[in-house]
Amino acid sequence: MNWLKTQISKELWSPYVAGVLLGVVGVLAVWLSDSLLGASGAFENLVGILGKAVAPQAFDNMYFNFIMPPAITWGVVLFFGIIIGGLVGALSSRTFKIRIAGDEQWKSIFGPQTWKRWVIAFLGAIVLEYGAGIAGGCTSGLAISGGMLLAPAAFLFIAAMFASGILTTLIAYRKNY
């Protein structure tokens, strides 16, 4: 029992152990709910709800009516679970802290200003979500959930993601790479 407590309160686990946990969650999602894990789709469902309320005409199209319906879907509930789970993880290791600035490594590359972190995070997240929308999923929804069903789409996505991720980091870090 004490051993378990010590393990849970550790800040970082071996990625292999955490990976096994996620793998089991992935299997259970299919087994118990007949659903695939994913996070980026939930944003689109939520935006759909918001958009239909604010500007119904702009959101009256194929994408928001059929592909990503504006509703509290299984994925949206999962998404809120992910946030709670992250919070539980941080609380269990007593590392929970509200951070508004980038971490040390981020500051050394992009500069110490907090507003820069916010602007880049905001724009970067738009790019990220847009890419996920085109590809049909994100790291969890396509790469992991698709990969575990051996979907070719997942492996194409992983290859492309790492290729451009490495290139972008190379450009952003230049001689610090």
Partner 1 sequence: MINYILALLLGIAFGFSLNKAGLTRYYKIVNVFRFTDLAVLKFMMTALVVSMSGLYVLRGLGWITFPNIPATYVAGNLVGGLIFGVGMAITGF
DSSP-H helix ranges across 9-73: 15-33, 40-54, 62
Window 130-159: contact mask with partner 1 (x via CB under 8 A): xxxxxxxxxxxxxxxxxxxxxxxxx-xxxx
97 touches partner 1 by CB under 8 A: no
Rank residues 60 and 61 by Cβ distance to partner 1 and give the closer one: 61
172 touches partner 1 by CB under 8 A: yes
13 touches partner 1 by CB under 8 A: yes
3-state helix, strand, coil in the chain (%, to 5): 75, 0, 25
Site for partner 1 in 47-66 (CB under 8 A): none
One residue of 49, 51, 106, 116 binding partner 1 per CB under 8 A? 106
One residue of 58, 129, 174, 175 binding partner 1 per CB under 8 A? 129
Site for partner 1 in 67-96 (CB under 8 A): 74-75, 77-90, 93
**Is the sign of the CA dihedral 90, 94, 98, 104 positive or negative?**
negative
CA distances in angstroms from 31 to 23, 27, 28, 150, listed in the order given: 12, 6, 5, 17
Tell me which residue of 49, 33, 44 sits closest to 68, measured CA to CA. 44
28 touches partner 1 by CB under 8 A: yes
C-alpha–C-alpha distance, residues 42 and 68, integer Å: 9
Shortest distance, CB of residue 57 to partner 1, whole angstroms? Answer: 27
163 touches partner 1 by CB under 8 A: yes
Shortest distance, CB of residue 125 to partner 1, whole angstroms? Answer: 6
Q: 110 exposed, middle or buried (CB, 10 Å; 0-12, 13-18, 19+)?
A: middle
Shortest distance, CB of residue 43 to partner 1, whole angstroms? Answer: 12
Shortest distance, CB of residue 118 to partner 1, whole angstroms? Answer: 11
Residue showing tokens 């118990």:
32
128 touches partner 1 by CB under 8 A: yes
